């Protein structure tokens, strides 16, 4: 990633939540991080390490207590159509069909029906859900729901895709299949991806680069690993396992 | 093998007792047979109790109730047929319910959306909430007299409470992640409220409408028991005054059937209006 352009930049970002008016929870401590253009960055950390908060700050759903996060040099203050998020709990609109969910963002923009149908159909096909356009989310399995989540995120044509433990609720087999799928889709669509997970294997399988958030609040960056393995990667590849061991030994991740 | 040869050598003669048992068992396994059996047995016990005068002279036989029902259609009571009495009650319910609901739903929604509205409305509402609507009858008659207004008032009060509660909770209990999803897709505040607020709370609001309609239906009966010349409640009171238990039970049957139809209708309507499944926040 030498000479690559910086897409997102965290400068001394700290976040403190105030609970019940008096109790303060220090979630992130002095985060400095650059995410490069077209990079697949994985933020790896155990539960309670502030990684979701980090992602929500990029999304504009939270604002940092101190410091700032900039996208293309402009400070992030609110959600915007240049960023899309895929949620751990899917957060699909249960009252909309697959098609309705995927085109929701385009509808908010006020795009004409014909045009947004066309775009939505393209992304439904990209995630492999053709034939399910008229299904409601409750009729889909977890893996299929998250496919809708991914199609919905891409349909908005974001500059940055944010994924918050998107496969955390899936069973092991579906999870591995979805990891393969997200790489396939990313290679087709390109763009910058920030992927949050607590799973070392997932991190190594997906990331160009892995940033470790240390456990126990407040979260802080405790390591960074480049993953120079060619894709598609194999979980049992010797280099894969070496890196896995290295990350495992050097961090206090309890996974 | 041995069994098989015997079966073929001995002619398959009918064995009545065994076949009867078999038939009984298969009948007992049939749901609809059991339903019928249940109803028939209930009617039989009722009839027996009536014939043996277990409850004195005031338990009519089922057949008497049926003939009373049929004659109500042809012989008017207080110059109204059964259908006209039923319509009088339904008419009141619809007006009272419409008034109660059209105030409660917006108020509940605003309580859910706006903390200031909530802070102003909720304390008073919490005070009024536990009062049974029927306890308003005396006041309502003092305020509005014995006419339609007092009955409509009771019904409106009865419909109001479950409706405001469901609308308020429907908005309040929306999964915040749905708002996040909408915001991340570029929804502005207005689009957020329409897309997420409206749709996510619709099943809860609809449930409130359903509950309040069934409460409205019991309120109208209570209201009609006091000083009324029409309606199903009036038929029941008339039955008491005339010492005619058949008339009372006939009225009760009609009331129950109507309540049943209302709830079936509302269920159908809900499936049409909200075809998706409700997902509660985790």
d(CA B202, CA B195) in angstroms, rounded, equals 11
Mean pLDDT value across residues B27-38? 86
Contacts of B269 (CB under 8 A, 6+ apart): B206
Q: Looking at beta carbons, which residues of chain B come within 8 Å of A94?
A: 200, 276-279
B104 pLDDT above the threshold of 80: yes
Q: Which of B181, B200, B202 sits opposite A87 (nearest CB)?
A: B181
Entry field: residues in chain A: 255
C-alpha torsion A115→A121→A123→A127, nearest 10: 170
For position B79, what pLDDT does the model report? Answer: 84
How many angstroms separate the most distant Cα atoms in chain B? 91
Please give the distance of CA A235 from its chain centroid, rounded to a whole number.
Answer: 21
Q: What is the pLDDT of residue A253?
A: 54
Question: Which of B181, B184, B276 is closest, CB to CB, to A136?
Answer: B276
Contact, A235 vs A205, CB < 8 A?
yes
Per-residue pLDDT reduced to its tens digit, B59-96: 999 999 999 999 888 888 888 889 999 999 999 999 99
Instruction: State mean pLDDT over B245-250.
Output: 92
Q: Mean pLDDT, chain B, as a whole number?
A: 87
Kindly report the CA angle at A145 between A254 and A90, in degrees rounded to 5?
55
Measured CA to CA, the distance from residue A39 to residue A28 in angstroms comes to 23
Of B37 and B26, which is predicted with more confidence?
A: B37
- Whether the Cβ atoms of residue B167 and residue B105 lie closer than 8 Å to each other: yes
- Give me the residue spans of the domains in chain A: 1-79+160-175+191-255, 83-157
**Residue A211 near residue A33, CB atoms below 8 Å:** yes
CATH superfamily placement of domain A1-79+160-175+191-255:
P-loop containing nucleotide triphosphate hydrolases (3.40.50.300)
What is the phi-psi region of residue B200: left when phi exceeds 0, alpha when psi lies from -120 to 50, beta otherwise?
alpha
Does position B268 have pLDDT exceeding 60, yes or no? yes
Find residues 128-187 of chain A whose CB sits inside 8 Å of chain B: 136-138, 152, 156
For domain B71-273, give the fold.
MetI-like fold (1.10.3720)
How near does any CA of chain A get to the CA of B180, in Å? 7
User: What's the DSSP call for residue A221?
Assistant: E
User: Looking at the predicted structure, is the pLDDT value of residue B261 above 80?
Assistant: yes
Residue B57 phi, psi (nearest 5): -90, 5
Q: Are A6 and A34 within 8 A, CB to CB?
A: yes
φ and ψ of A74, to 5 deg: -105, 135
* A154: Cα separation from own chain's centroid: 12
**What pLDDT, on a 0 to 100 scale, did the predictor assign at position B10?**
57
Alpha-carbon span A143 to A132, nearest angstrom: 13
Pairing of strands A209-213, A40-44: parallel
Half-sphere exposure for B96 (CA within 13 Å, toward CB): 32
CA distance A238 to chain B (A): 39
Q: What residue has token string 């992130």?
A: A28
| Per-block mean pLDDT, blocks of 10 residues, chain A (255 long) | 76 86 84 91 87 91 91 89 91 93 92 92 91 91 92 92 92 90 89 92 92 83 88 88 88 56
| Chain A contact present for B274, CB below 8 A | yes
Dist. CA A97–CA A93, nearest whole Å: 8
Q: Provide the pLDDT confidence category of residue B58 given band limits of 50, 70 and 90.
A: confident
B1 — pLDDT class (breaks 50, 70, 90): very low
In chain B, list all ranges with CATH 1.10.3720.10: 71-273
Query: Is B185 in contact with A152 (Cβ distance < 8 A)?
Result: yes
Encode pLDDT of B137-154 as tens digits. 889 999 998 889 999 999
Q: Strand A209-213 to strand A192-197: parallel, antiparallel, or no bridges (unpaired)?
A: unpaired
pLDDT of the residue at B21: 84
Q: Does pTM surpass 0.90?
A: no
Bridge partners of residue A44, in order along the sequence = A197, A212
| CA B220/CA B89 separation, integer angstroms | 7
Residue given tokens 């008497």 in the structure block: B64
CA distance B219 to B242: 23
B271 in contact with A at a CB cutoff of 8 Å?
Answer: no
Q: State the DSSP string of B46-97.
A: HHHHHHTTTTTT----HHHHHHHHHHHHHS-BTTB-HHHHHHHHHHHHHHHH
Angle B59-B62-B67 from CA coordinates, rounded to 5°: 110
Place B282 in a pLDDT band, splitting at 50, 70 and 90.
very low
Q: What pLDDT shows up at residue A100?
A: 94
What's A219's DSSP letter? B
pLDDT reading at B109 higher than 80: yes
Quick check: B279 contacting A, CB < 8 Å? Answer: yes
Asked whether the beta carbons of A194 and A163 are under 8 A apart, the reply is yes
Task: Name the one residue in this structure whose structure tokens are 């009062």.
Answer: B131
Tokens of B218: 């019991």
Q: Write out chain B residues lying below 8 Å of A59, CB-based.
A: 184
């Amino acid at each position: 990633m030498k000479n690559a352009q910086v897409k997102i930049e965290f400068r001394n970002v700290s976040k403190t939540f105030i609970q019940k008016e008096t109790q303060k929870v220090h979630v992130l401590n002095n985060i400095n991080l650059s995410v490069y253009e077209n990079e697949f960055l994985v933020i790896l950390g155990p539960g309670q390490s502030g990684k979701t908060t980090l992602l929500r700050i990029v999304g504009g759903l939270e604002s940092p207590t101190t410091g700032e996060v900039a996208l293309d040099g402009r400070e992030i203050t609110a959600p915007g159509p240049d960023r899309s998020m895929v949620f751990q709990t899917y957060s699909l609109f249960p009252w909309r069909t697959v098609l309705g969910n995927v085109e929701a963002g385009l509808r908010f923009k006020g795009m004409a029906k014909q045009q947004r149908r066309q775009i939505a159909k393209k992304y439904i096909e990209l995630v492999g859900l053709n034939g399910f356009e008229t299904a409601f989310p409750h009729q889909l399995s977890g893996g299929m729901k998250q496919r809708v989540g991914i199609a919905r995120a891409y349909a908005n044509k974001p500059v940055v895709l944010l994924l918050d433990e998107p496969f955390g609720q899936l069973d092991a087999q579906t999870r591995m299949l979805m990891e393969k799928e997200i790489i396939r889709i990313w290679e087709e669509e390109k763009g910058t991806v920030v992927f949050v997970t607590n799973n070392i294997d997932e991190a190594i399988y997906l990331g160009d680069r892995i940033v470790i958030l240390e456990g126990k609040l407040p979260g802080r960056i405790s390591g960074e690993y480049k993953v120079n393995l060619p894709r598609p990667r194999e979980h049992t590849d010797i280099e894969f396992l070496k890196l896995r061991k290295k990350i495992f030994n050097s961090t206090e991740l309890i996974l | 093998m041995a069994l098989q040869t015997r079966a073929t050598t001995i002619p398959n003669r009918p064995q009545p007792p065994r076949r009867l048992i078999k038939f009984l068992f298969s009948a007992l396994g049939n749901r609809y047979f059991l339903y019928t059996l249940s109803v028939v047995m209930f009617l039989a016990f009722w009839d027996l109790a009536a014939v043996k005068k277990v409850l004195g002279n005031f338990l009519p036989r089922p057949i008497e109730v049926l003939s009373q029902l049929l004659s109500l259609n042809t012989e008017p009571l207080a110059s109204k047929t059964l259908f006209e009495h039923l319509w009088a009650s339904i008419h009141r319910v619809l007006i009272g319910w419409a008034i109660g609901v059209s105030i409660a739903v917006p108020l509940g929604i605003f309580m859910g959306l706006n903390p200031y509205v909530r802070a102003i409305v909720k304390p008073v509402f919490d005070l009024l909430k536990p009062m049974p609507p029927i306890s308003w009858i005396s006041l309502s008659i003092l305020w509005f007299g014995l006419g339609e207004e007092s009955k409509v008032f009771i019904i409106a009060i009865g419909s109001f409470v479950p409706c405001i509660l469901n609308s308020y909770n429907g908005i309040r209990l929306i999964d915040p992640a749905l708002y996040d999803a909408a915001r991340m897709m570029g929804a502005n505040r207005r689009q957020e409220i329409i897309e997420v607020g409206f749709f996510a709370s619709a099943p809860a609001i609809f449930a409130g409408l359903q509950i309040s309609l069934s409460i409205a239906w019991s309120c109208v009966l209570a209201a009609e028991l006091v000083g009324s010349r029409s309606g199903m409640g009036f038929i029941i009171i008339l039955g008491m005054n005339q010492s005619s238990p058949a008339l009372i039970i006939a009225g009760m049957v009609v009331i129950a059937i109507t309540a049943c139809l209302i709830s079936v209708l509302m269920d159908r309507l809900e499936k049409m209006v909200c075809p998706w499944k409700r997902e509660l926040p985790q």
